[in-house]
Amino acid sequence: MIFRKAKIQDVSQIMEIIALGIESLKKQGSPQWQNGYGPTQDQIKKDIKNSVAYVLITDKVIAYAALLAGVDPVYTAITEGNWYDSQEYVSIHRVVVDSRLTGNGIARKMLVDLITVSQQKGVNDIRIDTHPLNFGMQKAIKNAGFIYRGKVNFPIPHGDRWAYQYLIK
């Protein structure tokens, strides 16, 4: 597997695995990314243009995520917990793995690679969230070393998320 920044020519493959991910979440009974609230092609293109998009590839794209710097307004309103420290941080969003390959540690590898990128950029605080019913992502997040910190809520239907943090020592 090769980890690298996403390129514009990756968009169709990224959108294919996003579509598979949306269908997989639906089959699991999770409302996450349903009814048009999943990542869009315009959003992916913007991530690539802004140089925040990353992929894992074999002979094709098998995973995607965005690593965003700056304050995430949703994360400022954490409830039933708190962030450890309030330093500069990056947020990982739009994580998706080709659902035909789940259970192989690909999401964990993607998260570990993004932690490394964050460290190389001098950012030691990495945050991520997922829906309470997205059990596979919760497992990957925990296996990558993130700690549960509380709840956040996106201003969309079923926007409740569990928030996690990874601090590089």
pLDDT of residue 85: 81
Nearest C-alpha neighbor of 131 from the set 152, 103, 104:
152
Tens digits of per-residue pLDDT, 42-83? 999 999 999 999 999 999 999 999 999 999 999 999 999 999
Cα 62 to Cα 98: distance, rounded to the nearest angstrom: 5
Domain residues of the chain, as ranges?
2-167
Cα 11 to Cα 27: distance, rounded to the nearest angstrom: 24
Cα 44 to Cα 8: distance, rounded to the nearest angstrom: 9
What mean pLDDT do residues 10-38 have?
95
pLDDT of residue 87: 82
pTM: 0.95
Whether residue 101 is predicted with pLDDT greater than 90 in this model: the reply is yes
Q: How many CB atoms lie within 10 A of CB 18?
A: 21
Tens digits of per-residue pLDDT, 110-156? 999 999 999 999 999 999 999 999 999 999 999 999 999 999 999 98
Strand partners, 121: none
CATH architecture of 2-167: 3-Layer(aba) Sandwich (3.40)
Q: What percent of the chain has pLDDT over 70?
A: 99
pLDDT of residue 157: 85
What mean pLDDT do residues 87-112 have?
95
Whether residue 86 is predicted with pLDDT greater than 80 in this model: the reply is no
Coil/strand/helix, residue 50: coil
- Torsion 57-50-151-27 (CA) sign: negative
